[in-house]
A = this chain, B = another copy of it.
């Protein structure tokens, strides 16, 4: 599975492409950083980020795109710009029918270093080691993008299995509710006084 990891941003947007193999084997395909000038207007900065993301998607054809989920940052304006940069990348993926997943910074750090509050240096060091790179990816945004892609490679099978289990549970619950309703209908007038009785599992 090929995963495109994206550390969204307007000033610097990290993009990392990683191939996930059997088990925890992962290899780096490409990595880079998209920059947009700070004195450019927001709409055109978003256009630059979107264009770059589309070029990366069309060149490398990832099976999934993993984007860092933005939470509140110190600076609200920066947080909004970061969220919007991630949004236009998600849009580009949706246009191509590529599934998009969002991972929080602590999920990424935990996956890659085993510690959800690891610092940037630890993340970079582990990414370098996991991918067997001779030099550490720079700047931090590039390393973070690779970390996101690695995190997705490792979490995706887990998330898939969870989604399937949840779907099965929902189907079982629906069957049970349906059977209850049938019994109630069969019971006829006996239960009709119950009125708004709530079905189990709802």
Contact = CB atoms under 8 A, between A and B. Distances in A.
A197 interface: no
Interface string A72-92: 100010011001111110110
A90 B42 CA distance: 8
A160 interface: no
A174 interface: no
Interface bin, chain A: 20 to 34
Mostly, the A contact residues are helix
| Copies of the chain in the assembly | 2
A83 B47 CA distance: 15
Contacts of A88: 87-88, 91
A71 interface: yes
Contacts of A42: 90, 100, 102
A100 B50 contact: no
Given A42-B102, A43-B90, A43-B99, 4 more contacts: A42-B90, A43-B93, A43-B94, A50-B91
Interface of A: 41-44, 46-47, 50, 70-72, 76, 79-80, 83-88, 90-91, 93-95, 99-100, 102
